[in-house]
Structure formats: structure tokens, C-alpha cells
Structure 1
Amino acid sequence: MYVFSIAVVTGGNKGIGLEICKELASNGVGLILTARDEKRGKEAVEKLTTDYGFTNVIFHLLDVTDHSSIASLVSFVKNQFGKLDILVNNVAIPGIELSQPIDEKLPQPERAKLFQKYQVQSYQRAFDCLKTNYYGVKNMMEAFLPLLQSSNAGRIVNVSSTRGQLQDLSEKLRKELEDIDNLTVERIDQLTNSFPKHVRDNMVEKDAAQIRCI
């Protein structure tokens, strides 16, 4: 059994995920950096090893939308370390697409206006977003729970964004989601599954006042 802290970070090959990996590794945590793209994942590990001298980072392939891929990672962590101390669910995809590309060199306020103008949300994109951002996170937590319980200080960190704020929902739905004493997983699943259908039927504004995929 491994005696040091062990962490798994999803979507660790770039952006916030890579920075989280860097911070954990610099604090001596045994890190498993995961990504769906094997080449990019291994390049991220090489960067952390070469640029910062970390020797406590390894790569493992992971697709959070694939149960067999999650099971493979759980088996690896169990066999190698016998526990998991930190699970960081960082991987996510946007729930919208852009009808036109936006020049990244433009000032942020102008880019924000163009983003609002060109954003498009489709049934398939909404479905894919929820499959990754909701069910992917849920499946990871359920799969790793036994290994997290084997730790003396197991913890889960879910990275979100401002697009998941409850203030963007209708007052009725917001109050329901805030009532944590009566809210159930089944009800959350029901709401989640209904969203792509509302997008398809153009009923998002009517039913939820601008619900957005995170």
C-alpha cells in the first residue's frame, strides 16, 4: 500500500487542470494526470517533469463518458496504491458552439459581446455536455468512493464555472435545487435528462429562464 497522498485529476493536460496538477505535485502529492487524448496527456506529464523536475506525476488514459475507461483507472489506482486521497473532477466541455470564430486577440469586453452574439446551443451539444459534465463527474465519484473511503482524509473537488450559477434558473427551479434536505439524486437526474429535450423543443426560456450547460 502507498503511504503518501494520491490524487487523480481529470482533464489534467491543459488549462486549469494542468495548473491543479502543478500545484498538487509541488506539494508532494502522488499525482495521476488523466486525459482523453493519450498524446496530449503524456506531453503534459513530460512538461511537468522537464520544466519543474517533478518525479511524482504519471499519466493514465481516461474518458469520463466511458464506464470501462473509468473502471480501468479505478483498477489501476487500487492495484498500485490501495486508496485515493483526492479526486479532482476538472474535465468539462462547453454546452454551446460558436456560429463564427472569435479573434482571441480582441479585448475581453469585445470578445464577450461577440460570444453572446454567436453562441448556438443544439440538442446534440447539450446532450454531450451533460454526458461529460454531469454524468462523467457523477460516475467518477461513484466509482472511486470505495478507494476514497480507504483514505484517512479522502476528498472530492468538483471544478465548476459561472455558467452553473443557480441565479440563471427560474425562481421555482432555483428554490427546488436549494432545498438540499428534500432534493434527491433521482430528481436531479430527471432535470438533467429533460434539458436536451427542452433545447430541441426550444422551451429552455419558458421552463427555466436561460438554463445553461456548464
Structure 2
Amino acid sequence: MILAIGYYFIIVALILLLTIFLLVLTSALYLKLRLEPVKGVCTSNVRLDGKTALVTGGNQGIGLETARDLAARGARVLIACRDAKRAAAAVADIAATTGNKLVEFRPLDLAKFSSVRKFAEDFNSSYDRLDILVNNAGCAGLDSEFTEDGIDVVMQVNYFGAFLLTNLLLDKLIASKPSRIIIVSSWLHNFANVSVDDLYKLGKDGIPQQLNTYSKSKLCDLLWTKALAKRLPEGVTVNALHPGVVKTNIFGRLPAFALKVVNILCDVLFKTPKEGAQTTIHLCVAEEVEGVRGKYFMECKEAEYSRKADDDELVELVWKESLKMTSLKSQK
């Protein structure tokens, strides 16, 4: 009798787990059909000979495929990331597949403002131009922790690090105009709320908090895009994008069960890194977006975004607080 009851509960538990999985799969399929009914493809044949492009996180995933495409168009491409070994493999891979030997690695840790400042100083003294800056590097699925700069690590890597890097490279971008700044955000920004008071505060550990922090960092990316677009001179543009849901290792630090579910869903429903890089590439090279600034793109087209990003007061407050937190001088 006891054994039968045990089997009964096991069967009920399995049915419950299967039901939950099917609900998640159905929801993911609905989002897939709603958000990505057609995969956008960059159709531009523009060459980039003589141009210099910098791709953060260009050693893997979307960043790697972006760097590969820009190199195939003849650009000098710099991959900026922490992992020298993986970067060396990426550089060799890109050179072998494109025939372009002007691909380099420079160390950069966006979780350390000291590293960002050193990178910018070295870049500005070593290179005479910067035509395309792709703020691609990001992280997710990390437990809440402070960086040495006193900021949540996901917020710093996904937002503050890129914010500081771009501002430190602005003079080079302006001197090289027409030039473009691309910021990889996410559709998940729609679920975030941002208060200036909690920009760098920590929440409790756990998956809901991890997703909340990730979403908040991506909303900040869009707010920053809006603020920067108002300040750039003619000839320098900045736009943000959602690459689609792509199977990369960005969520590699999720708990094992959650990671397996994510990987299954990605295998069935979502994009390869090459497909996920198309909107980024489009913003880097497409003729039709020359002069376009402060917009949000999906599938190589302008897309709707959270109304919070149109709150001018919030945009300015976050911009000013971000200048303060990165110790940058105030800008108009």
C-alpha cells in the first residue's frame, strides 16, 4: 500500500514537471512567433577597407560572428575581452575564414573601471581612428556580488563598463566620423524598472533577481542610447538593438536544471550566433541607417521599445548619475 502511494506521487510529480515544461515550451514558442516571426538578415554589401572596428566580447557567440563579418568586409578588427586564450583562438579563426590578417586582441575587463581606463588609454595612443564601436559584451545568470568599484557585477559589465569605455573613446570616434556606436540591449528591458537610487544596489540571490538585474542593465543600455544620441555631433550615431534569443553561453552559470531547460528551448526555437549577429552587423554597415540615432532595432528594422526609454527626465537622471559613478566629467 505504501509502495503504491509512493509510485502514485512519483507519477504525479513527473506529470507536473512535464506540464510545466510544456507550458514553458508553449510560452517560448508564442514569444518566438510574436517577436521573431522572420529572422532579419543584413543585406548590405558595404566594404570597410581602411576602417577600424572594436567589438567587446568578440571572442565568442554574437561578438565573434560580428567581428568575423566586419573582418570579411576588410576592416581592421579589434577583439576586446578578458580571456586571452579564447581570444587568440577567435583571432586565428577569423583570419583563417576571412583571409583578413588585421584582426587583433586587446585585454579588457568591463567589471573593472581600472581595466577600462587602461584599455582606452592604450587604444587612444595606439590607433589613429575608430569607425565602429560595438558594445556587445555582456553577462547574465550571476549571483549578486559587488565589483571592486562597488557596483553589481551584471550592471557593471552590461552597462557601466560599456558606458565608461564609450565615453573615453568618444574623441577618437568623433575624429573618425562618420562613425557608429552600437549597443547590444535586449527585449527583456521591457520588464525592468530603473530608479537612480538603486542603480548599483544588490538584490537577493536567485534566478528572479538575476533576471531582474539583467533586464535592468538592458533598460539602462536603452536609456543611455537615448541620452548619448542627444549629445553626439553630426556624423556620429548610436543605436541599440535586441539580437534575438540566441544560443550562447551567456547563461552558462545558471543552475544545471535551469540551464538544461534553456538549452533545450534554444536548440528548438532560437537563433545561432551568426543569425543573432545580423542586426548588429546591419547597424554597423547598412547605408539606410547612416544618420539614424537613438533608435532601437530588432531583426534589422526599427522596433517598439519600453515607454520608460522616452521618459526624458529618467534618461537625464540616469545619464548624470552614470557620469558620477564612473567619475567622468559632466557633459551637456
CA separation in 2, counterparts of 1:179 and 1:185? 9
Q: Secondary structure at the match of 1:123?
A: coil
Counting only pairs closer than 5 Å after superposition, residues 199-214 of structure 1 correspond to structure 2 as none
The correspondence for 1:86, drawn from 132, 135, 145, is 132
Q: Secondary structure at the match of 1:33?
A: strand
How has the CA–CA distance of structure 1 residues 127 and 186 changed in structure 2, closer, same or farther, with 3 Å as cutoff? Answer: same
CA separation in 2, counterparts of 1:49 and 1:39? 16
Q: Does 1:177 align with 2:306?
A: no
**How much does 1:89 deviate?**
0.3
State the Cα RMSD in Å. 2.8
How has the CA–CA distance of structure 1 residues 175 and 46 changed in structure 2, closer, same or farther, with 3 Å as cutoff? Answer: closer
How has the CA–CA distance of structure 1 residues 162 and 52 changed in structure 2, closer, same or farther, with 3 Å as cutoff? Answer: same
Structure 1 equivalent of residue 288 of structure 2: none
How has the CA–CA distance of structure 1 residues 169 and 152 changed in structure 2, closer, same or farther, with 3 Å as cutoff? Answer: closer
Q: Which amino acid aligns with 2:311?
A: D
Q: Does 1:62 align with 2:87?
A: no
Count residues with an aligned counterpart. Answer: 160
Q: Does 1:137 align with 2:268?
A: no
CA separation in 1, counterparts of 2:174 and 2:133? 12
CA separation in 2, counterparts of 1:139 and 1:19? 24
**How much does 1:151 deviate?**
0.8
| Structure 1 residue ranges (4+ consecutive) displaced by more than 6 angstroms after TM superposition | none
**How much does 1:137 deviate?**
1.4
CA contact (8 A) 2:120 2:165 kept: no
Q: Which amino acid aligns with 1:80?
A: S
How has the CA–CA distance of structure 1 residues 162 and 184 changed in structure 2, closer, same or farther, with 3 Å as cutoff? Answer: closer
Q: Does 1:151 align with 2:151?
A: no
**How much does 1:48 deviate?**
1.1
After superposing the two structures, state which structure 1 stretch, 8-17 or 69-78, moved more. Answer: 69-78
How has the CA–CA distance of structure 1 residues 163 and 47 changed in structure 2, closer, same or farther, with 3 Å as cutoff? Answer: same
Q: Secondary structure at the match of 1:58?
A: strand
Q: Which amino acid aligns with 1:66?
A: K
Structure 2 equivalent of residue 209 of structure 1: none
CA contact (8 A) 2:71 2:98 kept: no
Structure 1 equivalent of residue 79 of structure 2: 33
Residues 22-77 of structure 1 deviation map (CA, whole Å, 9 limit, x = unaligned): 11001111111111111111111011122332212111111122233223332333
CA contact (8 A) 2:116 2:161 kept: no
CA separation in 2, counterparts of 1:152 and 1:40? 31
Q: Which amino acid aligns with 1:7?
A: A
How has the CA–CA distance of structure 1 residues 82 and 190 changed in structure 2, closer, same or farther, with 3 Å as cutoff? Answer: closer
How has the CA–CA distance of structure 1 residues 14 and 169 changed in structure 2, closer, same or farther, with 3 Å as cutoff? Answer: closer
CA separation in 1, counterparts of 2:51 and 2:139? 28
CA contact (8 A) 1:89 1:137 kept: yes
Q: Does 1:10 align with 2:56?
A: yes
Structure 2 equivalent of residue 124 of structure 1: 145
CA contact (8 A) 2:117 2:165 kept: no
Q: Secondary structure at the match of 2:314?
A: coil
Q: Does 1:77 align with 2:208?
A: no
* Bigger-Rg structure (1/2): 2
> Identical aligned pairs, as a percentage?
30
CA separation in 2, counterparts of 1:17 and 1:30? 15
CA contact (8 A) 1:78 1:147 kept: yes
Structure 2 equivalent of residue 21 of structure 1: 67
Q: Secondary structure at the match of 1:183?
A: helix
Residues 67-122 of structure 1 deviation map (CA, whole Å, 9 limit, x = unaligned): 3322333233323322211110000001x35xxxxxxxxxxxxxxxxxxxxxxxx5
CA contact (8 A) 2:55 2:133 kept: yes
Structure 1 segments unaligned to the other structure (5+ residues): 98-121, 192-214
